[in-house]
């Protein structure tokens, strides 16, 4: 080897990410012997050991991890150069890799996707649904061009713009003591047992903040994996919960039988939904166009309106 090439840097990054030669080779679409040989050549060229090889596992050395992180930044810059060149002809064409959190995606995507196809027919949006931590990792590593998440997030090195504020509503079984009321106060939730999502969902943390504020408590025996599971648990009488407005309202789909939805009176607790992208991202024009389109959606503009009556 007389120089470092991008291909070998991709091999090293894959090994660092996957900690396995076979899976790294598959991710890079090469054979395992080819990948292993190129990693060895890279080690010889640099004069350091990048990977510890044992019969059971692969471990990247400290210097290997440091070089892999630098390589990741180099590869991201190279991809941005390519994207910049491609976008020069038409910044609103080509692929845009967009991430979205699962507590928002099913309720927002049906509203903006048809309008996006109509407004920018040459722009192909590839959607990836994942929790906040995974989206941030993909965004920083260059696997995504942009992501829609709830603030706050650790956004060092990221640009962002607020899209909308999404109020919370209370979901409860039809026979609950609060079901007869039209609008609720936060104090009405005092001492209530709240059903929440499992660890890792940003919505769980936001709901816990509300619980802490009003003196409600988490129902420790139940934790849901999704908003739809949470909805069904509430309808079955297991407890009450907070649902974001897009998931709670008519656009969230037909409410489960036995489920009652109630908005808050006054200034409701809410989450801030924002669009994030890497600073200097080559697809910034497309990202900004997407942000403008979502912020102008009719369902988004109407989020502060009273919620429709129970389902």
On whether the CB atoms of residues 194 and 211 are closer than 8 A, the answer is yes
Stretch 132-137: mean pLDDT: 92
pLDDT in tens, 1-26: 667 888 999 999 999 988 888 889 99
Stretch 133-157: mean pLDDT: 89
Residue 288 clears pLDDT 70, i.e. is over it = yes
Q: Tokens 């920018």 appear where?
A: 120
User: Are 86-163+271-300 and 165-270 the same fold in CATH?
Assistant: yes
Stretch 175-180: mean pLDDT: 87
Who has greater pLDDT, 248 or 80?
Answer: 248
The tokens describing 272, both together, are 């801030």
Task: Return d(Cα 288, Cα 110) in angstroms, integer.
Answer: 19
The tokens describing 82, both together, are 């390519």
Which residues contact residue 37 at a Cβ distance below 8 angstroms, ignoring those fewer than 6 apart?
A: none
Predicted confidence at residue 294, as pLDDT, reads 93
pLDDT in tens, 268-283: 889 999 999 988 887 8
Who has greater pLDDT, 295 or 309?
Answer: 295
pLDDT in tens, 43-85: 899 999 999 887 667 889 999 999 998 998 888 878 777 766 6
Q: Tokens 């829609």 appear where?
A: 148
CATH superfamily, domain at 165-270: Periplasmic binding protein-like II (3.40.190.10)
On whether the CB atoms of residues 140 and 220 are closer than 8 A, the answer is no
Q: Are strands 58-60 and 51-53 parallel, antiparallel or unpaired?
A: antiparallel
The proportion of the chain whose per-residue pLDDT surpasses 90, expressed as a percent, equals 31
Give the burial string for 45-82 (b: 16+ CB within 10 Å, else e): eeeeebbeeeeeebebeeebeebbeebbeebbeeebee
Q: Where are the domains of the chain?
A: 6-77, 86-163+271-300, 165-270
The proportion of the chain whose per-residue pLDDT surpasses 70, expressed as a percent, equals 90
pLDDT in tens, 85-120: 666 656 688 889 999 999 999 999 998 989 998 998
Residue 305 clears pLDDT 50, i.e. is over it = no
Stretch 123-133: mean pLDDT: 92
The CATH number of domain 6-77, selected from 1.10.10.10, 1.10.3720.10, 3.30.470.30, 3.40.720.10: 1.10.10.10
Predicted confidence at residue 85, as pLDDT, reads 67
Q: State the virtual CA torsion across 11, 17, 18, 23 in degrees, nearest 10.
A: -30
Residue 242 clears pLDDT 70, i.e. is over it = yes
CATH superfamily, domain at 86-163+271-300: Periplasmic binding protein-like II (3.40.190.10)
Strands of 29-145 (E only): list them.
Answer: 51-53, 58-60, 94-100, 123-129
Residue 253 clears pLDDT 70, i.e. is over it = no
> What is the secondary structure of 286-307 as a DSSP string?
HHHHHHHHHHT-HHHHTTTSPP
Predicted confidence at residue 179, as pLDDT, reads 87
- CB pairs under 8 A, 24+ apart, for 57-63? 57/19, 57/20, 58/15, 58/19, 58/20, 58/21, 59/19, 60/15, 60/16, 60/19
The tokens describing 164, both together, are 């909308």
The shares of helix, strand and coil residues in the chain, as percent rounded to the nearest 5, are: 45, 25, 30
């Amino acid at each position: 080897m007389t120089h470092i090439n991008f291909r070998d840097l991709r091999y090293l990054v894959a090994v660092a990410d996957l900690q396995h030669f076979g899976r790294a080779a598959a991710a890079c679409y090469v054979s395992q012997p080819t990948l292993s040989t190129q990693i060895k050549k890279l080690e010889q060229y640099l004069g350091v050991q990048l990977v510890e090889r044992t019969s059971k596992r692969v471990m990247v050395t400290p210097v290997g991890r440091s070089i892999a992180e630098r390589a990741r930044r180099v590869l991201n810059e190279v991809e941005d150069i390519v994207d910049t060149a491609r976008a020069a002809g038409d910044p609103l064409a080509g692929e845009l890799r967009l991430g979205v959190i699962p507590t928002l995606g099913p309720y927002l995507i049906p509203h903006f996707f048809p309008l996006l196809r109509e407004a920018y027919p040459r722009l192909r949006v590839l959607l990836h649904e994942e929790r906040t931590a995974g989206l941030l990792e993909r965004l920083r590593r260059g696997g995504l061009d942009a992501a829609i998440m709830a603030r706050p997030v650790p956004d060092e090195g990221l640009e962002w713009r607020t899209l909308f504020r999404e109020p919370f509503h209370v979901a409860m079984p039809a026979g609950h003591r609060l079901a007869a009321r039209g609008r609720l106060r936060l104090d009405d939730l005092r001492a209530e047992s709240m059903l929440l999502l499992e660890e890792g969902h940003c919505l769980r943390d936001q709901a816990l903040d509300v619980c802490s504020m009003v003196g409600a408590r988490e129902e420790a025996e139940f934790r849901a994996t999704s908003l739809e599971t949470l909805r069904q648990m509430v309808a079955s009488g297991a407890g009450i919960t907070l649902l974001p407005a897009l998931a709670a309202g008519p656009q969230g789909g037909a409410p489960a039988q036995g489920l009652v939805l109630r908005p808050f009176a006054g200034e409701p607790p809410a989450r801030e939904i924002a669009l994030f992208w890497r600073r200097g991202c080559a697809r910034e024009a497309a990202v900004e166009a997407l942000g403008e389109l979502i912020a102008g959606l009719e369902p988004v503009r109407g989020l502060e309106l009273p919620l429709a009556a129970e389902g």
